């Protein structure tokens, strides 16, 4: 009875440990997934703004328009005259700083510009090339885009992917060891049974099956509970993003794993469990074992 309780306890702790392992792993994956999604989302919004020289006349303007039209990297562009820019600026500023908005000298400070969006999705390096080329166009005074921000973002993202990979590797090995440990304990507890089964002519598959099943079951239950746990966590975070961080406009974009991803995680956990127990019972009974391998 005490033995039974002990084994139950061991299985319970194994299950909890594995669940924690898998939950951390899937949370990290989920975070990486959503960050990269937000990245492309914001990446799509990135515009290059080319400010024109104060003295660029209508001819120059038409020339530049022609260049922009011919450039395959550019999807859409829009001209903003300095008058329009000023009106927009005044409208925005009116409530904050009415004095500033009324200043007529502003007109001479605000340049006219082109707002340029890239064709297709825009990797950071392509954006940089384009900005560089635009700068060399006659009549373009300055080119602005979110370069610093974008670079930092990519760096953060690749660091994140790297560490998720690393954490994932460590956690998978830890998972293998934890399952292996539980299965080894249950092999130890059932050594007598294994010997009896060998003696009456059970094949090695028959003898191993229950241990493989035990490992697979542990893997299945743990990955399933980890997926559920992570989903709960996800819903909570999504709620916070919707209610508290609404200005980020992300609530409808953050995603949980797709269904196939969940299925893959659970199947993967099950396979991992079976594999871990296979690794530690490989040498359980290879024919002549019970006597020769009686430790």
Site residues for other proteins per CB under 8 A: 192-193, 195-204, 206, 286-288, 290-292
State how far the Cα of 34 lies from the Cα of 50, in Å rounded to an integer.
31
Measured from the CB atom, the residue of 85 and 202 that comes closer to other proteins is 202
Measured from the CB atom, the residue of 138 and 206 that comes closer to other proteins is 206
113, 51 contact by CB (below 8 A): yes
State how far the Cα of 181 lies from the Cα of 280, in Å rounded to an integer.
8
Measured from the CB atom, the residue of 259 and 291 that comes closer to other proteins is 291
Give me the least distance between CB of 36 and other proteins, in Å please: 50
Measured from the CB atom, the residue of 57 and 293 that comes closer to other proteins is 293
Give me the least distance between CB of 9 and other proteins, in Å please: 18
Give me the least distance between CB of 182 and other proteins, in Å please: 19
State how far the Cα of 59 lies from the Cα of 36, in Å rounded to an integer.
42
State how far the Cα of 45 lies from the Cα of 72, in Å rounded to an integer.
18
Measured from the CB atom, the residue of 58 and 287 that comes closer to other proteins is 287
Give me the least distance between CB of 287 and other proteins, in Å please: 3
- Strands (E) in 12-81, as ranges, are 47-52, 74-80
Give me the least distance between CB of 162 and other proteins, in Å please: 45
State how far the Cα of 76 lies from the Cα of 119, in Å rounded to an integer.
7
């Amino acid at each position: 009875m005490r033995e039974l309780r002990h084994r139950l306890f061991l299985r319970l702790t194994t299950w909890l440990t594995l669940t924690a392992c898998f939950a951390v792993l899937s949370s990290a994956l989920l975070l990486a997934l959503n960050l990269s999604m937000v990245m492309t989302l914001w990446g799509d919004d990135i515009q290059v703004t080319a400010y024109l020289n104060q003295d660029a006349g209508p001819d120059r303007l038409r020339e530049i328009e022609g260049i922009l039209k011919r450039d395959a990297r550019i999807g859409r562009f829009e001209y903003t005259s300095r008058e329009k820019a000023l009106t927009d600026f005044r409208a925005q500023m009116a409530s904050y700083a009415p004095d500033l908005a009324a200043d007529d000298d502003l007109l001479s400070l605000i340049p006219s510009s082109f707002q340029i969006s890239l064709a297709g999705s825009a990797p950071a390096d392509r954006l940089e090339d384009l900005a560089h080329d635009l700068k060399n166009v006659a009549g373009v005074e300055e080119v602005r885009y979110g370069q610093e921000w974008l670079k930092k973002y990519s760096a953060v993202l690749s660091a994140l992917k790297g560490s998720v990979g690393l954490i994932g590797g460590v956690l998978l090995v830890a998972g293998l060891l934890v399952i292996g440990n539980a299965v080894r304990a249950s092999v130890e507890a059932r050594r007598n049974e294994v010997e009896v089964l060998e003696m009456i002519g059970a094949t090695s598959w028959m003898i191993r099956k229950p241990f493989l099943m035990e490992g697979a079951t542990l893997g299945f239950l743990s990955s399933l509970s980890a997926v559920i746990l992570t989903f709960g966590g996800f819903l909570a975070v999504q709620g916070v993003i919707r209610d508290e961080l609404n200005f980020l406009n992300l609530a409808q974009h953050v995603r949980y794993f797709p269904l196939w991803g969940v299925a893959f995680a659970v199947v993967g956990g099950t396979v991992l469990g079976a594999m871990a127990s296979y690794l530690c019972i490989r040498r359980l009974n290879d024919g002549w074992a019970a006597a020769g391998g009686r430790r």
